[in-house]
A and B are shown apart, each in its own frame.
Chain A
């Protein structure tokens, strides 16, 4: 018989409170992202936006989608697709001299 409390993680993952904390962090990062539209970040504008985007992406995939707690095979399948997409389209954009412009 399980004595696991209702709010604790079940098969894998985190407690409900943990997920709410993650959501609050994501909301705070989104607010910071939006602030870059109004406040001049100078040369940090682009790098900060890209870092915040990647952090949000990884947090959702790792915690909400459970990749951090699940089998590594799932991570392999997803990140292989993602890596392939990044590689193919960065090469495609480079072919059209996107990064030079």
Chain B
């Protein structure tokens, strides 16, 4: 009986584990991220097919602001560093530093999303609406989907901070932060691909 109780406590501390000895939550997150590759793969290849179909609208090289997008990319890249520092802080049970790094990550993510809103607004004023051309539709769909993912990530970061502060996490706290981190790094690697294929390689 005591042995069963100890086993249950251990499971609560380290999350539910599968027969492989691995966390079910982490397995599910990696499976989800693998499936997300298919989603973004579809959006990226659609853009690659249609990037030359500008009809009467502006051409990609006429509207892309590479210096601005480079700064945005750098901001998102650095948010991956602050996220991994939040994970290591959580593994050391340092709640204050975990919340600090989560806050910085959320701020960097919000800066990136703000930059994307600014970019979309500028493009729209320059005549690139969602239905202007096949290029514009595929561009806004791809970068918009990515922006939504970053926004969801920011909400996840803020929610994680909230539940850490209220001590509402049951089970392994560091694993919860790590799972949010995996999602966050994923939106970063998607942007690494988007930045190169969409912005830096001319059509």
Chain A: residues with Cβ within 8 Å of the partner, total of 48
- For the complex, what is the distance from the CA of A9 to the CA of B88, rounded to whole Å? 8
With A57-B192, A77-B34, A78-B30 as given contacts, are A23 and B182 in contact (CB-CB < 8 Å)? no
User: Does B189 reach chain A (CB closer than 8 Å)?
Assistant: yes
Closest CB in chain A relative to B112 CB, distance in Å: 14
Q: Are B20 and A49 touching (Cβ within 8 A)?
A: no
The answer to whether the Cβ of B169 comes within 8 Å of any Cβ in the partner chain is no
A34 to chain B, nearest CB (A): 5
Interchain CB contact under 8 A, B37 and A98: no
Q: Dominant SS at the A interface?
A: helix
Determine whether the beta carbon of A98 is less than 8 Å from that of B185.
no
Bound together, the chains give a CA A59 to CA B48 distance in angstroms of 25
Q: Give chain B nearest CB distance to A75 CB in angstroms.
A: 8
Chain B positions 32-64 with a Cβ under 8 Å from a chain A Cβ: 33-38, 40-42, 44-45, 48-49
**Interface membership of B2, Cβ < 8 A:** no
Selected from A50, A65, A86, the residue in CB contact (under 8 A) with B196 is A50
Residues of B near A63 (CB, < 8 A) are 84
Could you give 18 example pairs across A and B, Cβ below 8 Å?
Answer: A10-B88, A10-B91, A19-B88, A27-B78, A60-B80, A64-B181, A65-B181, A65-B185, A66-B178, A71-B22, A74-B26, A74-B30, A78-B30, A81-B33, A81-B34, A85-B41, A88-B38, A93-B49
